[in-house]
Structure 1
């Protein structure tokens, strides 16, 4: 068994035993590898965000939190290819790109057989131009949206004119490959859209942002007809 299927199998082995822990020796015997290999695999899983943890003391070993893991998911080659294409769109300039990378690692670890082959083949045939949005800006926007806090930013409009704004983030809009932060702009006292690659600097603040209705902020703008992507339907409330 090569490493990727073994990582997936390790997770399922720990899930089956949860909430009990399993020793490294038992896992090594189960997968017919050395204890050092199992330790490296478990460390890799933990670093990629899988909720595995070392349990100390008598009867200790490694355990997983079953409440924060998924049961086995079997992908068809077409579904695996669709996921690869979707992940490719979420390049390093897109919001939450860092989390997308760790999610992709978990998905890849769960794929076996034809699905894994299809995903690897397509992944090797997709390229992208380098993004223009800086990581500090993207990270600041992510934090403000996730934490629900006010954001200070510097923004260059289409003519290159820069201005400083204090905004209350409401959501994100994507159109034609571009991402926009939709927010209530305290400077303009109105809803505004800020293209992420035109934000030259962004600083999150600890101040809680009042809630805003995304559709209301878009009303009367070019984004008024925006709809929730159908792929997000099962996730949305």
Structure 2
């Protein structure tokens, strides 16, 4: 019963934020009707949003109403959709790493950005988060051999992962052998500070793990892949249960 009540309040608050963002101003009677709540409940919800940092203004008198100052949301940040998605995911990753310093407000910041998305986009971001896994920190030997990937490789890999584009890579194995492959970047894994891609490899026609700093070239190719069943990657990601 308690969980249901909490979920209902959360859904109502998200609806209220969406309504405030959708119009320049609302009369309290209109908001009450849309939400199906009393005046007291509406005022309490607005007060909670103000305490959470939302810039909500109230105008008294005829023609006045409630408004979210400046149509608050992602659009005010002047960021592209993908930039905001990457920002939300980066905050979630940092939160998962559980750093003891300078992270006390990460959860609140992430939630505010997340709530600025329409429901459909929130669902899309949630699905992406399920594909990003956090493991243990890399051991010292692996870190000592790590080299930062080229910016273009990182950007193409990120786009392939987020947009589910096929990616052609030139990969260098631990022995130094280089092969050309087309992959589907199904999951990513962070063993701080080393990133890995858990992918379907069209060269081997099976699942493979690729260390990102061993990718020497990456090029987006035509076509989009579908997410494969999780059991295809069970042997790879079973040790890494934590997602962001």
Tell me the TM-score normalized by structure 2.
Answer: 0.44
More helix per residue: 1 or 2? Answer: 2
TM-score, normalising length: structure 1: 0.45
